[in-house]
Structures are given as C-alpha cells and as structure tokens.
Amino acid sequence: MRHTINEVQLNNGSKGILIHIPNASVMTFDINFRAGEYLVDKEKWEVPHLMEHVLLGANELIPKAREFQAELEKNGAYSNATTGVYDITYEAECADFEWDRVLGLLLIAITKPLFLEEEFKAEFGNVQEEMVARSNNHFRRLSLEMRQSLGLIAKTDAERLELMLNVNVDDVRAHYKRTHSAPNMRFTIAGNLNTQRRKAIIKLLDSIDLPTEGTRFELPREIPKKLNQPVYVPNDTVENLYFYIDTFIKRRLKDPETDALSLVNTMLTETLYSKILGTAREKGLVYGMNSGLSHTRDASNWWFGAQVSDKNAGPLLNIVVNELHKVLAGEIPQTDIDSTKQYALGRFQRSAQTVGGTAAGYAGRYFFDDVIEDYYRVPERIKAVTKLQIIEVARSMFVDNTWGIGVLGNCGEKFTYGLQAQLSPLWVQPSISLPL
C-alpha cells in the first residue's frame, strides 16, 4: 500500500514509527517493550508470559478482564499480545472510526493494570493449557531443543510448565515495574494518519502514564556453538521424523548480504519448482520443506527443516547437500537468479496489501534494533543482488563451522549420526576460485 512514514522521538524517552496510509479504513497499533524472558531469573522464566496474559485484563478503568475485552472489541476490534525471549508486544486493530477509543483503551491497559490475584490464577491455568497445546507441535519442540543445545536462550515447553510453579503475582508486578517505562517503549502505528490525527497520537503517547526514568534494555549476547553430536528427541508416537539443520556465522550479516542469502534461500526451497524442494517432490521424497534466516545480536543463522519418512530422509539430505554444493561452487545459472528475483519482487508486492501487513514490514526490524527499513528501496535491493554476492554470503555461512542437526522421531540415535555424517562435508570447503 502506498504510504509515508515518520519516526517520532517523544519527550518521555519513547519513540516509534507513524505510517500514514491515505484512505485506509482500519488502524493498527503495536506497542513493544524489551521485557522478554532473558531479563528474568531462569527459575522465573514464565514471568513475562504470565504478565502479558494478565496485563490486558482488569485495570483502573474497567476492573474486570472480561468486561474490558468486551468493551475493546465491541465494534469488531481485535487485540492481542505476544511474548518472546526478547520482547513483549501489545497489539490492536480497529475500524478507522474508533481509533481513538481503542488506542485509549490499549494505553489504559498498559499503564493502569491491576494484576488481580484471581485473574492471575485464572490466566495461570490458561497459560498451562497453552503450553500443553504447544508441546504437541513437534517442530516447535525440536526447535527449542536445538536452540538450547546450540547455546541460545530457550526453554522447552515441558520445562516452562515446571518453572511456572515458581511464579506468583508479585513476580509479575515486579517485572512490570522494572520493564514498563517510556524509554523502554517502541511503537508502530499505521492507518490514515492525517496531520490532525498524527498530532493527537503524539500527544497521547507523549503523556502516557509510565515512568520517564529507565532505559531500552540491551539485547543479550548469544554465541552459538557447534554441535559435535546431533540432537535426538525420541518420540514413539511419530511415524516419520522431523529435522532441522542450522548453520551460523558469528556476526550479523549486512543488509546486502541478507538480501543475497534471502534470494538463494528462495531459490532452494520456497517454491514447488525450487532446487531442493522441487527436486525432492519430483522424486516423491517429501511433501514440504522450509528454510529461512534469523539473527541474534551477534550472529546470523540459516536453517532448513522438514517432516519426512525415515526411508526418504537420506535421499532428501543428498539433494540438500548436492544443491548447496552447487551454490558454494558457483554453479548457479544466471537465468535461475533472474527468475528468482522476479518471484521475490512479486512476493514483496503481495506482502503489504493490508494496513497490518505494511506495519509488520517495519515493526520486526524496528523493535529489534531501531532500524527503519526503506520499504520503497526493497525492489531496488532485490534487483541489485549479484551472483558473486550470493556465492560469497552462502560460503560465509559455512566457514565458521558452527552448525548442527536435530531430529525428532523414533528412528533411533544411530540413524541421526548417519544424517549428520551426510551433511558434514558442507562445512569442509576447499579453496575454490570465485567465478568472474
């Protein structure tokens, strides 16, 4: 959607992005605090999650959670909150005609929560149910096991269920007091933000009733390590197996490097005619496969994952290794690069057809490191990726020899060592002259 953005730095120490989308019929609000699990003692891991659940409940204006939700959502508005290792984000979306009412209610919830004991007990039960439901997600279970083994900050859902018992409502109140200050707040607001409305929003946020003392907490240091043995999570109820492959470079990729790696990632797995997934499906080996990029403060990650039968796992990894070796050797036809760029351009155009989609395109990076992506330069950045950049960044993801494979299923630990051995040649790169 066509839009303009303004970053605003408020007098109270908070800052954010206002995204003006002329003639938009809805508005979205995302308000973020660096308040995730890394900021609490490991024995109190679930404090941020429980706080997030209770905060959008009883407050000084409407002292009952159910009544507050009924009031906020009565005209079809939506509200939610999410907690992660780093952040908590409160969000709402509403029709344009009631933006001020909904934003006002969201800010009341954030600034005037009551943290009632009875609501804490109720949400404690709801979070337990949520954790049990999440534990049935095999990809999630394996991912968390992998993160722990790689030295990243994580707890499995089973561990979190145990650690919940250490948390009381006073812990929640203390964490709120520590983390919910104006300087620790970031926001993205999108919609039809004409001059008058923009001024009203800035005035509301600048007068938000939060302490002006505080800071934006630094992201934690997470240094990934090589897994000398595969992570194996036995599960006799699973008829096939789930796997993840992770490889790291121990620094943050620069934006042009990320653009290049994203492009080759698309080329390998993101379509039914891609090099890895397309070849595997052509041979009847796997229904679907995913891959992607992620970042911590100090490292960048490229991962691959799939659900596959035991008998097809080896042949699938052969395709993965062969196609990655081709990339590392520079055996990438320019026609493949050009067609992948066209696909990436089209996907980018589709990604921001809504107000929420446009806002999401800015929020993730901004909340992570205060960087505002230049949305209108994305097509130019995609077109600018060269074959040489693709080869160089792909190789860089293997030179640190920091990697691992994880498997969940009933294939046995010995089987997983065989899969690890199949992959290991990727991290032993001979000296290859780069193609001209």
Instruction: Give whole-number Cα distances, 184 to 187, 196, 362, 424, in Å.
Output: 10, 26, 18, 43
3-class SS of residue 289: strand
Q: Which residues pair with 409 in a beta bridge?
A: 234
H helices present in 88-217, as ranges: 99-111, 117-134, 138-149, 157-163, 169-179, 195-206
Which pLDDT belongs to residue 352?
A: 75
Instruction: Give whole-number Cα distances, 256 to 335, 338, 405, in Å.
Output: 20, 17, 27
Which pLDDT belongs to residue 349?
A: 84
Give the CB-side neighbour count of residue 70, counting CA atoms within 13 A: 6
Boundaries of every domain in the chain: 4-206, 231-427
Q: How much is the mean pLDDT over the chain?
A: 95
What digits encode the pLDDT tens for the residues 124-181? 999 999 999 998 999 999 999 999 999 999 999 999 999 999 999 999 999 999 999 9
Q: Which CATH superfamily is domain 231-427 in?
A: Metalloenzyme, LuxS/M16 peptidase-like (3.30.830.10)
The yes-or-no answer to whether 4-206 and 231-427 have a common fold is yes
The ranges of the chain with pLDDT < 50 are: 431, 434-436
Which pLDDT belongs to residue 242?
A: 98
Give the CB-side neighbour count of residue 212, counting CA atoms within 13 A: 8
Q: How far apart are CA 23 and CA 186, in angstroms?
A: 25
Which pLDDT belongs to residue 249?
A: 97
Which pLDDT belongs to residue 429?
A: 62
Cα 137–Cα 139–Cα 140 angle in degrees, nearest 5 = 65
Which pLDDT belongs to residue 436?
A: 42
Which pLDDT belongs to residue 1?
A: 76
Q: How far apart are CA 89 and CA 36, in angstroms?
A: 10
Entry field: residues in the chain: 436
**Full-model pTM:** 0.93
Q: How far apart are CA 34 and CA 16, in angstroms?
A: 14
Q: How far apart are CA 151 and CA 149, in angstroms?
A: 5
Q: How far apart are CA 299 and CA 221, in angstroms?
A: 9
Contacts for 357-362 with beta carbons within 8 Å, 24 or more apart? 357/1, 358/1, 358/3, 358/19, 358/21, 358/190, 359/19, 359/28, 359/30, 359/188, 359/189, 359/190, 362/5, 362/17, 362/19, 362/188
Which pLDDT belongs to residue 351?
A: 79
Cβ neighbours around 185 below 10 Å, total: 25
| Bridge-based pairing state of the strands 231-234 and 78-83 | unpaired
Q: For the structural domain made of 4-206, what CATH number should be given?
A: 3.30.830.10
Read off the tokens for 311.
């008998």
